[in-house]
Amino acid sequence: MQSKGRTFRQLLQDEPYLFTGGIYSPLDAQIAESAGMKSIYLSGYSLAMLNGWPDMGLLTMTEVTKAASMVASAVDVPIIADADDGYGNALSTMRTVQEFVKTGVAGIHIEDQRFPKRCGHIAGKTIVSREEALGKYRAALAERDAAGHVCASLERPRRDHDDVEHQVADDGDAGSARSPASNATSHARRIAGRSSRATARLRACPRSAPLSGAPGG
């Protein structure tokens, strides 16, 4: 049986326009499928509102993957899920991809916002550096490839979106000195090193403000 990720990629190639309606529950997904939608989007904004929260990164990865698993098991069409900012840094993003693969969704998209991330409709969004965004994307792609999953989307609002995707893709070229996996591992090690040093500094100075780059939850 063809994976949902491959099914979604085939739809992108075959359909002149692929309408992917946003839903937030298994029942919504079944209604959308019955209405003829060939793919469905699990909306992070709608899922947050369903739980009584604004879309500002307040739902955890565990809560969202639980919903994703229920939605994916309720329909046959491919599901694209909102994975916020990967729920932390590059290390957290690797775990995020692993958990979403288990849900059966066709793919996820990852934003490059700083925490607390916000829905695209909400003012006050800020984004991480290009280096940090690329590190997350490489980590996500490496985990996707390791799991045999075939679909992931990278979202970089308002700043060279195409350049970012191309730069990530270039790392997988035959002529590249390093593969996406080695880049992701290297970046993760650098973040882990910074996190360890940050933890040591925080222990020495408990009143210090939290440092960016520490693992997210």
Note whether 128 and 95 are within 8 A (CB).
no
Look up residue 154 and give its DSSP letter.
E
Q: For residue 181, what pLDDT is reported? A: 40
Confidence of residue 27 (pLDDT cuts 50, 70, 90): very high
Q: Which long-range contacts (CB under 8 A, 24 or more apart) does 171-180 make?
A: 171/138, 172/141, 179/142, 180/138, 180/141, 180/142, 180/145
Confidence of residue 59 (pLDDT cuts 50, 70, 90): confident
Residues with a known catalytic role: 119
Q: For residue 169, what pLDDT is reported? A: 40
Query: Average model confidence (pLDDT) for the chain?
Result: 74
Alpha-carbon dihedral 2, 164, 169, 71, rounded to 10 degrees: -10
Confidence of residue 53 (pLDDT cuts 50, 70, 90): confident
Q: For residue 197, what pLDDT is reported? A: 41
* Alpha carbons 203 and 197: distance in angstroms, whole number: 10
User: pTM value?
Assistant: 0.68
Torsion angles phi and psi, residue 42, rounded to 5:
-85, 105
Note whether 48 and 87 are within 8 A (CB).
no
With a CB cutoff of 8 Å and minimum separation 6, the contacts of 19 are 37, 38
Q: Which domains are assigned to the chain?
A: 4-204 (3.20.20.60)
